[in-house]
Amino acid sequence: MSLRYSTASGQLSVLVTDAALATMLSLRQVKVRDKEAGGQLFARFDGSDVVIIEATRPTLLDRRSRYSFEPNRFLQRREIRKKHVAGLHFVGDWHTHPERTATPSGDDLASMQDCFRRSRHDLTAFILIVVGIAAPPEGWYVALVTAAGVQKLSLITSDDQGEAKFVERSWSRKSS
């Protein structure tokens, strides 16, 4: 099953592929002892769409508890370089919350805005996915994050056969 999200205006589209979806779903906090998990989102650009190919898993050096996830930034930077060589672009982060319907905390949003501001990139926004216990789309929070703010995305298509249904959108990278 792949999922496609879009802004209310339909100006851009984000496709979460089966592989990325499977990683995030497998780490939901469904048991009382499950710790928060998270990772990075890596994508390719298909015309004007961003296609999330991979959601990385937590590492042994990440700090995790029931209510927090703090990734090892050194390992994350190394992973960004490695994936870039393979043709994938870092486009954001994801993590779980131990609640049925995920809602990002103020710290979640501030951290992503700070990451966007401090990173070297050509993107107009980063993507934040917070994974709740309920299946998507109900349990998920998906948004675009810039230094200036956050824009929640809405699910526009779900494909249970795993085939991408591309819609003409204008995902933009900054001009160099």
Domain residue limits at 49: 2-159
The reply to whether 168 falls in a domain is no
pLDDT tens for residues 16-57? 999 999 999 999 999 999 999 999 999 999 877 899 999 999
> What mean pLDDT comes out for the span 140-155?
94
Asked whether the predicted pLDDT for residue 89 surpasses 70, the reply is yes
pTM: 0.88
What pLDDT was estimated at residue 159? 65
The reply to whether 20 falls in a domain is yes
What pLDDT was estimated at residue 1? 79
Number of domains within the chain: 1
Q: What's 98's domain CATH number?
A: 3.40.140.10
The reply to whether 126 falls in a domain is yes
The reply to whether 97 falls in a domain is yes
The reply to whether 166 falls in a domain is no
The reply to whether 95 falls in a domain is yes
Q: What is the 3-state secondary structure (H, E, C) of the chain?
A: CEEEEECCCCCCEEEECHHHHHHHHHCCCCCCCCCCCEEEEEEEEECCEEEEEEECCCCCCCEEECCEEECCHHHHHHHHHHHHHCCCEEEEEEEECCCCCCCCCHHHHHHHHHHHHHCCCCECCEEEEEECCCCCCCCEEEEEECCCCEEECEEEEEECCCCCCCCCCCCCECCC
Q: pLDDT band at 160, cuts 50/70/90?
A: low
pLDDT tens for residues 90-137? 999 999 999 999 999 999 999 999 999 999 898 999 999 999 999 999
